[in-house]
Chain A
Amino acid sequence: GAVVSQHPSWVICKSGTSVKIECRSLDFQATTMFWYRQFPKQSLMLMATSNEGSKATYEQGVEKDKFLINHASLTLSTLTVTSAHPEDSSFYICSAFSGGKNIQYFGAGTRLSVL
Chain B
Amino acid sequence: QKEVEQDPGPLSVPEGAIVSLNCTYSNSAFQYFMWYRQYSRKGPELLMYTYSSGNKEDGRFTAQVDKSSKYISLFIRDSQPSDSATYLCAMRRVLTGGGNKLTFGTGTQLKVEL
Contact = CB atoms under 8 A, between A and B. Distances in A.
Interface of A: 1, 4, 6, 32, 34, 41-44, 46, 49, 91, 93, 95, 97, 102-109, 111
The SS class assigned to the B binding surface is loop
Interface residues of B, number: 21
Interface string B10-51: 000000000000000000000010101000011111100100
Contact of A93 (B8, B34, B44, B49): B44
B88 A44 contact: yes
Interface in B40-64: 41-46, 49
A28 to B, nearest CB: 14
- Determine chain A's interface SS by DSSP, over half rule: strand
A108 B39 CA distance: 10
A27 to B, nearest CB: 14
A4 B46 CA distance: 12
